[in-house]
Amino acid sequence: MTSHWQDWPPQVLAALRKGVVIPAHPLALDANRKLDTRRQRALTRYYLDAGAGGLAVGVHTTQFAIREAALLEPVLQLAMRSAAEWARESPIMIAGLVGRTAQAVKEAQVARARLSRRAPLTRRAQGRERRRVDRARADGRA
């Protein structure tokens, strides 16, 4: 099943049209470069308290580090749980997708399983236009 923006819940579309802020969620690591769940949860609460309308996990500066350490799924799960427990309203949660089509599709499936507000964000694929179109279609079906 392909997901289109027209299928998103009306409250999500309204928030986006209003101009809601959805910052990239930083990754909190301890001195041993392991996920620091206490500080990761604190970052989620901080951004939501500051007025963010959602969070984008696995994008921008964390997009590669989070994958190299196999942290995408645990960080998505932690961000979702923390946001659900803390936010007054349901925030818009976005999962970054990178890599070749197979990897991006797998990440989209993980994101769909973890995110109640489903919004995968893909990075421009390398290569020919046709491959980019095929990848976008595959991401949407995942």
Domain positions in the chain are: 20-141
Q: Which CATH class is domain 20-141?
A: alpha beta
pTM, rounded to two decimals? 0.71
Distance CA 119, CA 13 (A): 12
Distance CA 52, CA 86 (A): 12
The arithmetic mean of pLDDT across residues 112-119, rounded, is: 57
Q: Which long-range contacts (CB under 8 A, 24 or more apart) does 125-133 make?
A: 125/100, 125/101, 131/101
pLDDT, tens digit (0-9, with 9 covering 90-100), for 9-33: 888 888 889 999 999 998 888 999 8
**Among 45-49, 113-117, 121-125, 133-137, where is mean pLDDT lowest?**
121-125
The pLDDT value recorded for residue 45 is: 95
- Tell me the β-bridge partners of 96: 121
Instruction: Between 60 and 44, name the one with better pLDDT.
Output: 44
- Tell me the β-bridge partners of 93: 55
